[in-house]
């Protein structure tokens, strides 16, 4: 009962946040100078043409009217028509979303693996030089944002040691059998590991850039809570049972130390997804973020709206999922 | 234990020192850029395009760090870039700190509907990808230094607001606040004289962090070509330009990248160092 | 017959400091015997137990001396072998049952893990054994308790679980570090009786750490009095209560309420006695340093 009420409350605040976000974006972009219709037509188009198209996209109505039309459309699953691409917004956005999700999830996996490994190494060799080195690495990793890491990776691995691709999502020369946009997932299902490998080689650099700051955060926080846990009585007790230090860390301390890190990963993962916008641009990766920047440059109002709402929805869903996982993993909450 | 503590303290000291020195040097370069820089940062010399830095074959001693594809001096552009970067860092950082901290203090101390309103607003803001939001704002505001500063404040006030709100709530629960209330001191007085001074160290640490972020945002916006003007010597603009000629002239990208890296790192380490220095537990 | 546990001249010190935390500690325990370790807070009682079990804090290590369990010299074993040997022959009953159980695991694996992982029992056998043990510690519904999480049990129940877990592998040596201080008085008595019962039934050698001389008189056959990491008196319990030899022991005894006569007036430990024993410890330190 308590859990159900908590979830309902969360859903309510979620909808408030989403509607708020929709309102903010809607009104901010209506103030954008520059006429998107004029940008879309060839130079020298007649005033009449511009007026006709403006009316077609409903841009001649008042802002409030436009918002109402848009909102009723959204409730019918209609997010309007992209001005620059002349297609319905939702299919466009949903077509790009999988690329961004795959990139973000890959980055998350890298961050968890690197951050987790660093935290465990740091605890295993606590109070030694190794731990100091890890602390320094964490400090640098935390201070430098993904944008700079991306550029550094481009210089190091794109130019000096060209082992990975630094542009695009997949080699254009390859024949694509895909029916969904989840290329990585589908290539595994189809057992096309050649394509899978090509995708990973394209994704690795942008994903790593996104992952480094998160890896540092995970490493720092997890190491700290592991170290606190290592002093607790039940950990000491399990040592006397004959377990090795590694076993004690992994199966006694880790499950309890992981919870605070987990809640943090939720928020940080939304930051990471926010980072894909510029990272996709840097690596010419055809995801939602790259499309978003184009949409802003083209003043494509319906498309911008659609993309921002999808991002906002994604963020709130992630936060909800993390909170629920937390409740499930914590025996104290589970039985409360 | 004792010697361990000592070495931690020394390490913290070195961190503050190193980052402070770098920021100081950069600030001086920014301040005296026109006097120091060897060339006009905008002067093009099409016959001296893509000259390598001084230690490489084919370099020209007049261009220590080489030139970009239009033959502009990389060193001079870096020095003038510091000017723009530090102006943005200072103004945007302070403005963001003031706006965000005010709202955070209000929410954390007043509680009630003020808190609900501000917290909802923060939630809504957190639902936007910040880079997209920034680009959108620049599209609305137009390019230029002022627009960038406004955009940074509009996007990043939440960072201060969240932390300061939590901190103000902590402080409000402390006994010294209760006794001030019992003593009948007015609420405004308590907020300004009791709570703010205790939250200030947190704000200062965040401020230096925010300055680094402001530098990055400016670079990102220049990179997306929305910052100031295409040939103004900004670090982000230099990076964007270097990105296109990365295979022919890596130094056009590498030098501004290195400078940006060290500056952002120094801002954050300086903040951390300050926080530790003022942390009564560690001191 | 040689003793089951022998500690000879054991010294431990904080890294990088001259100060010893344990100062040439020697004692021995036979099978089925209980040795009480008493002394004021910070005397090093827990440190002795930790040194034997190999769980000294990372800043402290053994600098000299021997620990022999069943004739085997622990210092001479490889760390991994020592760990397994301790796991199979010795067990700890910890002081605070609230923090000594892993909050994220059910009770059953916390009792059986040693049997399954270290001693190679099958899960089913270990489960049967766990039920048996929970019966032995007088838990009425072992099924339910085994499926519970620690936070669902009371402090007394948790201490019973920890005792069951300690006796799971039929240890020949148990170290009980103030096993009842964290419990309230009525529960204390039951737990004490329980430990005694199990110790007798399994004829375990036991080190019983406590502040309370009253408890020592009920549970132990012999006792060692500790001051500043040094044993100032080794004695049998009857002899001790007839008349301790060391002045510090006498003062300690005078400061303890007598279970035979709880109304007798208590004497605070005299300053001069403390000064004398502190001086004695320092003198012994000087001699020790000389001998090295
Ligand atoms: N982690 C540690 N680092 C440094 N010194 C320690 C550490 N743990 C304990 N000590 C020191 O070792 C000495 C012995 O501590 P110990 O825990 O054995 O005392 P005790 O006799 O068990 O006391 P109590 O009755 O309070 O449990 C104390 O003087 C304490 O200051
Ligand atoms: Mg103790």
Q: What is the tens place of the pLDDT at every residue in B148-176?
A: 999 999 999 999 999 999 999 988 888 88
Ligand closest to Cα of C225 equals: 1
Count Cβ neighbours within 10 Å for each residue of C245-254 and write b for 16 or more, e otherwise: ebbbbbbbbb
Q: Give the per-residue pLDDT at C275.
A: 85
Report the separation in Å between the CA atom of C268 and the middle of ligand 2, taken as the mean of its atom positions: 22
**If you measure CA to CA, which chain C residue comes closest to A229?**
C102
Whether residue C55 has its Cβ less than 6 Å from ligand 1? no
Query: Taking 70 as the threshold, does the pLDDT of residue C104 lie above it?
Result: yes
CB-based burial of residue B266 (10 Å sphere; 0-12 exposed, 13-18 middle, 19+ buried)? buried
Span A307-334, pLDDT tens digits? 998 999 999 899 888 888 877 777 666 5
Tell me the chain A residues in contact with residue B121 when contact means C-beta distances shorter than 8 Å.
20
CB-based burial of residue A91 (10 Å sphere; 0-12 exposed, 13-18 middle, 19+ buried)? exposed
> Which ranges of chain A does DSSP label H, i.e. alpha helix?
2-30, 36-40, 47-56, 63-75, 89-124, 129-143, 146-153, 183-189, 193-230, 233-240, 245-247, 254-282, 288-297, 301-329, 331-334
Largest CA distance in chain B: 77
**If you measure CA to CA, which chain A residue comes closest to C162?**
A237
Q: What is the mean pLDDT of residues B2-25?
A: 72
Token pair of C269 as six digits: 């430990």
Rounded CA separation B24/B18 (Å): 10
Span B52-105, pLDDT tens digits? 887 877 777 777 788 777 778 888 889 999 999 999 999 999 999 999 999 999
Tell me the chain B residues in contact with residue C60 when contact means C-beta distances shorter than 8 Å.
none
CA distance A249 to chain C (A): 13
Q: What is the mean pLDDT of chain A?
A: 87
| A163 φ/ψ angles, rounded to the nearest 5 degrees | -100, -25
- Contact (CB<8Å) A278/B4: no
Whether residue C194 has its Cβ less than 6 Å from ligand 1? no
CA distance B4 to chain C (A): 11
**If you measure CA to CA, which chain B residue comes closest to A298?**
B139
Q: Give the per-residue pLDDT at A218.
A: 96
CB-nearest partner of A237 from C88, C92, C151: C92
Query: Taking 60 as the threshold, does the pLDDT of residue A8 lie above it?
Result: yes
**If you measure CA to CA, which chain C residue comes closest to B3?**
C16
CA C220 to chain centre: 12
Tell me the chain B residues in contact with residue C59 when contact means C-beta distances shorter than 8 Å.
1
Confidence category of residue B282, pLDDT binned at 50, 70, 90? very low
Residues in CB range of B35: below 8 A, 6 or more apart: none
**If you measure CA to CA, which chain B residue comes closest to C15?**
B1
Q: Which of B271, B161, B149, B146 is nearest to B215 (CA)?
A: B149
Is the interface score ipTM higher than 0.95? no
Whether residue C129 has its Cβ less than 6 Å from ligand 1? no
Q: What is the mean pLDDT of residues A178-185?
A: 86
CB A210 within 8 A of CB C86: no
CA-proximal residue: ligand 1, atom 25 (nearest): C41
Q: What is the mean pLDDT of chain C?
A: 89
Q: Give the per-residue pLDDT at C73.
A: 93
Q: Give the per-residue pLDDT at B283.
A: 41
Span B186-241, pLDDT tens digits? 888 888 888 888 888 889 889 999 999 999 998 898 888 766 666 678 888 888 88
Q: Give the per-residue pLDDT at A34.
A: 64
Question: Does residue C19 belong to the interface with chain B, where contact is any CB pair within 8 Å?
Answer: no
Q: What global pTM score does this model have?
A: 0.86
Tell me the range of B37-51, B267-281, C48-62 where mean pLDDT is highest. C48-62
Tell me the chain C residues in contact with residue A255 when contact means C-beta distances shorter than 8 Å.
102, 104-105
Q: What is the mean pLDDT of residues C238-251?
A: 87
Confidence category of residue C18, pLDDT binned at 50, 70, 90? confident
Q: Give the per-residue pLDDT at A301.
A: 84
| More confidently predicted of B53 and B125 | B125
Query: Taking 60 as the threshold, does the pLDDT of residue B145 lie above it?
Result: yes
CB C204 within 8 A of CB C198: yes
Query: Taking 70 as the threshold, does the pLDDT of residue C262 lie above it?
Result: no
Q: Give the per-residue pLDDT at B6.
A: 46
Rounded CA separation A111/A149 (Å): 14
Q: Give the per-residue pLDDT at C187.
A: 85
User: Chains that contact B by 3+ CB pairs under 8 Å?
Assistant: A, C
Span A292-302, pLDDT tens digits? 999 988 888 88
Tell me the chain A residues in contact with residue C86 when contact means C-beta distances shorter than 8 Å.
240, 242
Confidence category of residue C274, pLDDT binned at 50, 70, 90? confident
Report the separation in Å between the CA atom of C46 and the middle of ligand 1, taken as the mean of its atom positions: 7
Rounded CA separation A113/A121 (Å): 12
Residues in CB range of C158: below 8 A, 6 or more apart: C97, C98, C100, C101, C150
CA-proximal residue: ligand 1, atom 5 (nearest): C14
Q: Which of C123, C124, C160 is nearest to C140 (CA)?
A: C160
Confidence category of residue C184, pLDDT binned at 50, 70, 90? confident
CA distance A31 to chain B (A): 6
Per cent of chain B over pLDDT 70 is 92
Q: Which of A110-114, B142-146, B166-170, C93-97 has the lowest mean pLDDT?
A: B142-146
Q: Give the per-residue pLDDT at B226.
A: 67
Token pair of B244 as six digits: 């296109």
Rounded CA separation A198/C141 (Å): 59
Can you state the percent helix, strand and coil of chain B, rounding each to 5?
75, 0, 25
CA distance A319 to chain C (A): 23
Largest CA distance in chain A: 86
Q: Which of A47, A44, A91 is nearest to A307 (CA)?
A: A91
Query: Taking 80 as the threshold, does the pLDDT of residue A204 lie above it?
Result: yes
β-pair partners for C67: C7
Span C105-139, pLDDT tens digits? 899 999 999 999 888 999 999 999 999 999 988 89
Q: Give the per-residue pLDDT at A1.
A: 64
Rounded CA separation B265/B215 (Å): 11
Span A72-116, pLDDT tens digits? 888 888 888 888 888 899 999 999 999 999 999 999 999 999 999
Q: What is the mean pLDDT of residues A33-47?
A: 68
- Contact (CB<8Å) B3/C59: no
CB-nearest partner of B140 from A31, A282, A308: A31
Confidence category of residue A336, pLDDT binned at 50, 70, 90? very low
Between CA C121 and CA C126, with CA C122 as vertex, the angle to 5 degrees is 75
Rounded CA separation A306/A93 (Å): 7
By most ligand atoms within 8 Å of CB, the mutation choice from C46, C52, C63, C215 for ligand 1 is C46
CA distance A228 to chain C (A): 13
Q: Which residues surround ligand 2, an ion (CB under 5 A)?
A: C 46
Q: Give the per-residue pLDDT at B3.
A: 40
Ligand closest to Cα of C57 equals: 1
- Contact (CB<8Å) C94/A243: no
> Which ranges of chain C does DSSP label H, i.e. alpha helix?
45-53, 79-89, 107-113, 123-136, 142-146, 155-167, 185-201, 213-219, 237-242, 247-254, 271-291
Q: Which of B224, B1, B121, C1 is nearest to A293 (CA)?
A: B224
Span A220-265, pLDDT tens digits? 999 999 999 998 999 999 999 999 999 999 989 998 898 888 888 8
Question: Does residue C16 belong to the interface with chain B, where contact is any CB pair within 8 Å?
Answer: yes
The DSSP result for A14-47, as a single string, is HHHHHHHHHHHHHHHHHT--S-HHHHHSPTT--H
Intra-chain end-to-end CA distance of chain B, in Å: 15
Confidence category of residue C67, pLDDT binned at 50, 70, 90? very high
CB B30 within 8 A of CB B78: no
Rounded CA separation B262/B241 (Å): 20
| List of long-range contacts for C150-157, beta carbons under 8 Å, 24+ apart | C150/C101, C150/C102, C150/C103, C150/C107, C150/C110, C151/A331, C151/A332, C151/A335, C151/C103, C152/A335, C153/C107, C155/C97, C155/C98, C155/C182, C155/C183, C155/C184, C155/C187, C156/C97, C156/C183, C156/C187, C156/C190, C156/C191
| More confidently predicted of C16 and C131 | C131
């Amino acid at each position: 009962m308590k859990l159900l009420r908590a979830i309902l409350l969360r859903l309510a605040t979620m909808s408030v946040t989403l509607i708020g976000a929709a309102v903010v974006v809607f009104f901010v972009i209506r103030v954008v100078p520059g006429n998107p219709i004029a940008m879309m037509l060839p130079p020298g188009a007649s005033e009449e043409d511009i007026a006709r198209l403006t009316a077609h996209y409903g841009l001649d109505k008042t802002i409030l009217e436009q918002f109402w039309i848009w909102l009723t459309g959204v409730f019918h699953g209609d997010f309007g028509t992209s001005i620059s691409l002349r297609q319905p917004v939702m299919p466009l956005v949903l077509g790009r979303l999988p690329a961004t999700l795959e990139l973000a999830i890959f980055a998350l996996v890298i961050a968890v693996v690197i951050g987790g490994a660093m935290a465990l190494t740091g605890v295993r060799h606590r109070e030694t030089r190794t731990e100091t080195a890890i602390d320094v690495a964490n400090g640098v990793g935390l201070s430098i944002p993904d944008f700079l890491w991306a550029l550094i990776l481009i210089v190091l691995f794109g130019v000096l040691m060209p082992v990975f691709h630094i542009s695009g999502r997949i080699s254009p020369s390859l024949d694509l059998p895909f029916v969904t946009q989840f290329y990585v997932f589908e290539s595994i299902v189809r057992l096309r590991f050649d394509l899978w490998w090509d995708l990973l080689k394209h994704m690795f650099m942008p994903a790593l850039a996104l992952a480094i700051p998160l890896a540092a955060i995970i490493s720092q926080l997890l190491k700290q809570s592991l170290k606190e846990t290592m002093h607790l009585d039940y950990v000491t007790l399990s040592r006397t049972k004959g377990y090795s230090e590694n076993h004690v860390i992994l199966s006694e301390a880790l499950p309890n130390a992981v919870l605070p890190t987990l809640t943090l990963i939720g928020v940080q993962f939304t930051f990471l997804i926010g980072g894909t916008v510029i990272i996709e641009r840097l690596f010419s990766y055809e995801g939602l973020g790259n499309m978003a920047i184009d949409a802003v440059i083209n003043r494509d109002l319906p498309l911008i709206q659609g993309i921002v709402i999808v991002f906002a929805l994604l963020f709130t869903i992630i936060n909800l999922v993390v909170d629920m996982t937390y409740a499930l993993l914590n025996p104290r909450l589970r039985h409360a | 234990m004792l010697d361990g503590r000592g070495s931690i303290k020394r390490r913290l000291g070195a961190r503050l020192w190193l980052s402070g020195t770098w920021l100081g040097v950069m600030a001086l370069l920014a301040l005296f850029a026109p006097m120091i820089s060897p060339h006009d940062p905008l002067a093009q010399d099409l016959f001296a395009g893509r000259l390598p830095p001084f230690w490489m074959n084919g370099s020209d001693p007049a261009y220590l760090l080489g030139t970009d594809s239009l033959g502009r001096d990389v060193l001079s552009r870096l020095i003038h870039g510091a000017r723009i970067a530090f102006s943005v860092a200072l103004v945007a950082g302070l403005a963001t700190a003031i706006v965000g901290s005010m709202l955070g203090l209000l929410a954390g101390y007043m509680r009630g509907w003020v808190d609900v309103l501000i917290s909802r607003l923060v939630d809504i803001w957190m639902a936007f990808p910040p880079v997209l939001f920034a680009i959108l704002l620049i599209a609305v505001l137009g390019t230029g230094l002022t627009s960038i500063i406004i955009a940074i404040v509009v996007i990043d006030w939440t960072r201060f607001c969240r932390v300061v709100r939590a901190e103000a709530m902590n402080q409000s629960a402390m006994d010294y606040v209760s006794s001030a209330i019992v003593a009948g001191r007015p609420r405004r007085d308590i907020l300004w004289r009791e709570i703010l001074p205790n939250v200030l160290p947190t704000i200062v640490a965040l401020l230096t962090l925010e300055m680094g972020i402001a530098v990055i945002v400016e670079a990102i916006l220049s990179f997306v070509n929305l910052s100031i003007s295409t040939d103004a010597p900004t670090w982000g603009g230099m990076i964007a330009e270097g990105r296109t000629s990365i295979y022919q002239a890596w130094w056009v990208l590498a030098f501004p990248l290195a400078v940006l890296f060290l500056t952002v790192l120094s801002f954050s380490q300086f903040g951390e160092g300050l926080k530790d220095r003022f942390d009564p537990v560690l001191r | 017959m040689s003793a089951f546990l022998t500690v000879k001249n054991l010294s431990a010190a904080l890294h990088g400091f001259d100060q010893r935390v344990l100062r040439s500690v020697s004692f021995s325990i036979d099978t089925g015997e209980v040795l009480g370790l008493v002394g004021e807070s910070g005397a090093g009682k827990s440190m002795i137990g930790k040194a034997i079990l190999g769980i000294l804090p990372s800043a402290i290590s053994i600098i000299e001396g021997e620990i022999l369990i069943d004739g085997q010299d622990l210092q001479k074993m490889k760390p991994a072998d020592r760990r397994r040997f301790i796991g199979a022959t010795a067990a700890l009953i910890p002081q605070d049952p609230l923090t000594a159980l892993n909050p994220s695991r059910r009770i059953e694996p916390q009792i059986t893990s040693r049997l399954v992982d270290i001693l190679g029992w099958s899960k089913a056998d270990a489960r049967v054994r766990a039920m048996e043990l929970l019966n032995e510690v007088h838990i009425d519904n072992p099924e339910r308790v085994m499926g519970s999480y620690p936070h669902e049990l009371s402090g007394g129940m948790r201490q019973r679980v920890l005792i069951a877990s300690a006796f799971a592998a039929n240890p020949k040596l148990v170290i009980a570090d103030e096993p009842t201080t964290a419990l309230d008085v009525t529960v204390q008595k039951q737990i004490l009786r329980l430990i005694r019962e199990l110790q007798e039934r399994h004829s375990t050698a036991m080190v019983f750490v406590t502040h309370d001389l009253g408890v020592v008189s009920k549970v132990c056959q012999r006792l060692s009095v500790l001051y500043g990491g040094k044993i100032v008196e080794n004695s049998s319990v009857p002899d001790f209560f007839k008349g301790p030899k060391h002045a510090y022991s006498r003062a300690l005894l005078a400061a303890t309420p007598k279970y035979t006569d709880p109304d007798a007036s208590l004497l605070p430990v005299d300053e001069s006695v403390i000064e004398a024993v502190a001086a004695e410890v320092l003198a012994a330190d000087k001699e020790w340093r000389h001998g090295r």
